[in-house]
Every structure is written in C-alpha cells, then in structure tokens.
C-alpha cells in the first residue's frame, strides 16, 4: 500500500444551491478510491474576487488523506466539477462548483496546469479563514509560515 498524504482542498460555489453543490462534491471526493475526507470547515459566504459581476460564493476547505498523485487528483477534481454541472466559462467567472488543491503534504508542484501550494492562497481570506479553522498550525511549504500567521498578516 502506498503511503497517505495529507491534502487540503478549497471548494466554492456561487450558482444554484451553493451549499448543496459543495456537500455533493465532498461526498463524491470521499467516495473516490484512495481518498478519505477527514475534516471540513464551516461554510463561509464571500464576495467574488476578480472576474465579471456575479453572485457571492459559499466556500469551505476540507482536509483529506490520499495516495493519489497530484496530477491524477486534479483530474478527479475536474471530473467531479463537470459531473456536478460545471461548464467552461470566463476566468474567475460564476460556477456551480470549483475544487482547488491548496496543499499536498509539503510537496511543491510547479507545472503548467497545477501549482501547489495554490499560488494565491496566501492572498485570499476565503481560503485562509476556513483552512485556519481546521488546521491553523500547518505551515505553507514555501514561506514556512503557519496558516494562522498568514491569515493574521492578511487582516
């Protein structure tokens, strides 16, 4: 058996039944072979950042363990998004559901379609607040700063 890695993912929705969309995405992730969802933050209502005029988001962060490599995990995330009705659209535009890999253990991934840690997570309260709620002491693998300290700096 391959070893499990702690992974944190951000989820957001601003179309349809936002909370239900996120719950369905979490359920589908948890049902994937090789993924076990361990923690879930509360839901956070947040204004959209960038992109066109659009409804507010509901966001949350989950902690999970997986043996799936980052690129394959990204493919699973995309399948779940499409399965829940996400359509291609404008960058940072409205969406039924959005799944982002925030942290994958202490790994640093810099590929054309995948950046881990998520390249803007340290600038986004809608990521740091729910992440801090479930794991305030984990450290950002590039800066070495804890999530709670990153959130404090942002405020």
* Catalytic residue ranges: 86, 95, 98, 100
Residue 137, judged by CB atoms within 10 A of its CB (0-12, 13-18, 19+), counts as exposed
CA angle 36, 137, 19 (to 5 degrees): 50
**For residues 36 and 153, is the Cβ–Cβ distance under 8 A?**
no
Q: What is the CA radius of gyration of the chain?
A: 15
């Amino acid at each position: 058996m391959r070893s499990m890695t702690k992974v944190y993912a951000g989820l957001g929705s601003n179309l349809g039944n936002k909370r239900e969309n996120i719950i369905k995405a979490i359920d589908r992730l948890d049902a994937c072979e090789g993924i076990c969802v361990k923690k879930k933050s509360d839901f956070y209502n947040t204004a959209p950042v960038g992109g066109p005029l659009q409804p507010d988001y509901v966001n949350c962060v989950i902690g999970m363990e997986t043996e799936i490599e980052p690129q394959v995990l990204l493919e699973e995330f995309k399948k779940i998004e499409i399965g829940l009705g996400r359509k291609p659209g404008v960058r940072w535009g409205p969406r039924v559901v959005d799944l982002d890999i925030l942290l994958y253990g202490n790994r640093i991934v810099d590929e054309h379609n995948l950046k881990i840690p998520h390249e803007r997570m340290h600038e986004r309260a809608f990521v740091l607040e729910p992440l801090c709620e479930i794991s305030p002491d984990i450290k950002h693998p590039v800066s070495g700063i804890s999530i709670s300290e990153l959130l404090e700096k942002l405020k």
